[in-house]
Structure 1
Amino acid sequence: MSQKSLSDLNVCSKADFVAALANVFEYSPWIAEQAASARPFAGVNALFAAMKAAVDGAGPDHRLALIKAHPDLADKTQRAAGLTAESSAEQNSVGLDRLSDAEYEAFERVNNAYRAKFGFPYIVCVRRYTKDSVLCDFELRLRNDASTEMQASIGEIFRIAALRLDQLVTADDRLSVHGRLSTHVLDTHSGKPAAGISVVLTELSDLGEARVVARAITNSDGRTDQPLIGGRPVPIGRYELMFAVGTYFAGRGVSLSDPPFLDQIPLRFSVSDPEGHLHVPLLVTPWSYTTYRGS
């Protein structure tokens, strides 16, 4: 996806403006076409507000067509026929291109149940979810009536569009679409930050395989040089952080049992706010550890 500066979009032809932003909303260039008349925009937030206003002001038929322009999730037939580059990247980011047989069956079941009830595809901003939490959301939204679900679908379309616009347009301001997950290890036996500890972040799954999201080594401050997840939403779901503390204490000449009482420490936790900052620290000695929810 080639980035465009907002200053260039403010002065280019209407045709070029529409071409650049045509797929911010899936297969719906009419939204960019309507927003073009509101130029110039002071920032990307103003641009996004104009695009949302075009959707909010559209009639029921246009809004339903916008919903129906989106593909079903994890649909092999649609993948063979070809998704938009944006939809393909979004579904791949959550692992919907590499599901287990059990996961495909689960997605097929809820897709069919959803379409049978509502007559349009289930839409969710998958960059904000894990595979497991998408399936949970499916089940919750199947309880809605059609009117409530159409509003929920438009809300998710806005979230998808905001992330696409954030990737596409550079401006002085930013859309509030990113979260952060970080950690910090403190050696309370020595009373200092724990440097050189291997940290592995894994996304947990009920029906498929667990997926390693990030690997890092703590620096001299006991932190990782970069957030474990940053510059994007932190997907709703269940995770595990694994800390290799046995190797750390052995390397510092601490007298340990053989094997050490604490070797690999797993911390399991859940994420519920994709745009928030979740900090998961570890306070550790060779014989004990504690953690808490930081921010």
Structure 2
Amino acid sequence: MSQTTLAELNACTRTEFIAALGNIFEYSPWIAEQAASARPFVGIGALFETMKTAVERAPAELRLALIKAHPDLADKTQRAAGLTAESDAEQNSAGLDRLSDAEYDAFERVNNAYRSKFGFPYIVSVRRQTKDSILRDFERRLPNDVNTEMQTSVGEICRIAALRLDQLVGADDRLQVHGRLSTHVLDTHSGKPAAGIAIELIELSALGAARVVTRAITNADGRTDQPLIGGRPVPIGRYELIFNVGKYFAERQVQLSDPPFLDQIPLRFAVSEPEGHLHVPLLVTPWSYATYRGS
């Protein structure tokens, strides 16, 4: 999606407005058509609420058509036929384009079970999820009735739309769709921030390979220059942070055993609030370490 501004959307023609926002809701330009008549918008929040209201007030058959416009997750046939650019990027963000055989089999099983029961595709905002959390969500939602799943699906569609709108439109206000994951290393042996420690953030997977999310080096304040994850939701799931502390203490000529008692420290934790701020610090000496859940 090419970037635009709210001012440009307020000033453009109705046809241009619909063309720009027609796929904020998957293959459903009628939502942008309704929003076009409500211009000008004072902020992106007002624009999103107008589009969301159009969905919520639409007849049931139109909401069902909106749900059915979405693709199945991790479906090889649909990917070969061609997804929308937005859906393709969203599925790739969760690693659904590179599943292990076990993961693919699991997704095929739950997709088929869900469609067989409800008659429409399972929908979730995958930018807020990992592969593991999506599979768990599938299982949680399968016992629901059709009406509950239609309501849940519309809610997830609105989350998808909010993230798409946030990426597409620049405005003075912002939608509350981003989270943050950060860390901080304190050398409690010397009583100062630990600079120069190599950190690796890994997304864990029950059925597939672990995936490196990012690598960073702590700065003079013992923090990373940028959040480990920022400017987007922090996907629900299980993670591991690996801190390379042995090299750090050796370079400071701290007397260590050979090999050092602590070399790489792995911290495993879970994320449950994609739009929250999760801070995972490390307090470390050559012989001990501690952590806590910060914010």
TM bracket, shorter-chain basis: over 0.9
- Residue in 1 aligned with 2:54? 54
Secondary structure of residue in 2 paired with 1:98: coil
| Cα distance in 1 between the residues matched to 2:149 and 2:160 | 16
- Residue in 2 aligned with 1:34? 34
- Residue pairs, 1:1-295, within 5 angstroms: 1-295=1-295
Measured against aligned partners, the alpha-carbon deviations of 1:114-163 in whole angstroms (never above 9, x if no partner) come to 00110000000000000010000000010111111110000000000000
Paired positions, count:
295
| Cα distance in 2 between the residues matched to 1:26 and 1:119 | 18
Secondary structure of residue in 2 paired with 1:283: strand
Secondary structure of residue in 1 paired with 2:79: helix
| Cα distance in 1 between the residues matched to 2:172 and 2:221 | 32
Task: Name the % identity.
Answer: 80
Deviation at 1:11, TM superposition (A): 1.4
Secondary structure of residue in 1 paired with 2:267: strand
Q: Name the TM-score, length of structure 1 as normaliser.
A: 1.00
Q: Name the TM-score, length of structure 2 as normaliser.
A: 1.00
Secondary structure of residue in 2 paired with 1:162: helix
Amino acid at match of 2:48: F
| Cα distance in 1 between the residues matched to 2:113 and 2:98 | 22
Amino acid at match of 2:125: C
Cα RMSD (Å) of the superposition? 0.4
Amino acid at match of 2:12: C
| Cα distance in 1 between the residues matched to 2:43 and 2:105 | 44
Measured against aligned partners, the alpha-carbon deviations of 1:204-253 in whole angstroms (never above 9, x if no partner) come to 00100000001000000000000000000000000000000000000000
Q: Which runs of 5 or more structure 1 residues have no equivalent in the other structure?
A: none
Secondary structure of residue in 2 paired with 1:41: coil
| Cα distance in 1 between the residues matched to 2:56 and 2:91 | 26
| Cα distance in 1 between the residues matched to 2:5 and 2:240 | 38
Secondary structure of residue in 1 paired with 2:105: helix
Amino acid at match of 1:26: E
